[in-house]
Amino acid sequence: MLDARRRELLELVGLAPFNRRIADRLSGGMKQKLALACTLIHTPELLILDEPTVGIDPQSRHFIHDNLRRLNAAGMSIIYTSHYMDEVEQLCHELAIIDHGRIIAQGTVDALLTTRHNRAVELRTSAALP
């Protein structure tokens, strides 16, 4: 049963042709795909991902995003952390912006993009500007 699940997941993430390759010899994008397959082995109800697309090529990034959308559409809840706001806009329904461990903004992507935060930045210099 586990072997069938392994084959299914390698197919899902596009690594079936590499099933005999040692993980250490995979490219960065392939390692990220393998990591995703490993997290799915027991079909979790909640998937927590910490920047799963850092350092990978655009094609692998797109492939991972498509799989995450499919998993979410099938009912899996996903917590996704990213510094890439384009990913957040494409993948997330709701988000929280965290700064130094505190949530400073939370809501839907559309609501946060349309909200204006009235904040000022004050710049002080030790010498007068010309």
Q: What is the pLDDT of residues 52-74, one digit of tens each?
A: 888 888 888 888 899 899 999 99
Give the Cα separation of 128 and 113 in Å (integer): 36
Distance in angstroms (rounded) separating the CA atoms of residues 34 and 21:
11
Rounded percentage of the chain residues whose pLDDT exceeds 90: 41
Written as one string, the DSSP assignment of 56-98 is --HHHHHHHHHHHHHHHHTT-EEEEE-S-HHHHHHH-SEEEEE
Residue pLDDT, tens place only, 98-123: 889 999 889 998 888 777 665 655 66
| pLDDT at site 53 | 87
pLDDT of residue 122: 66
Map tokens 């040692």 to a residue.
Answer: 22
Q: Which residues contact 83 (CB under 8 A, 6 or more apart)?
A: 51
pLDDT of 16 strictly over 60: yes
Nearest to 91 by CA among 128, 122, 51, 59: 51
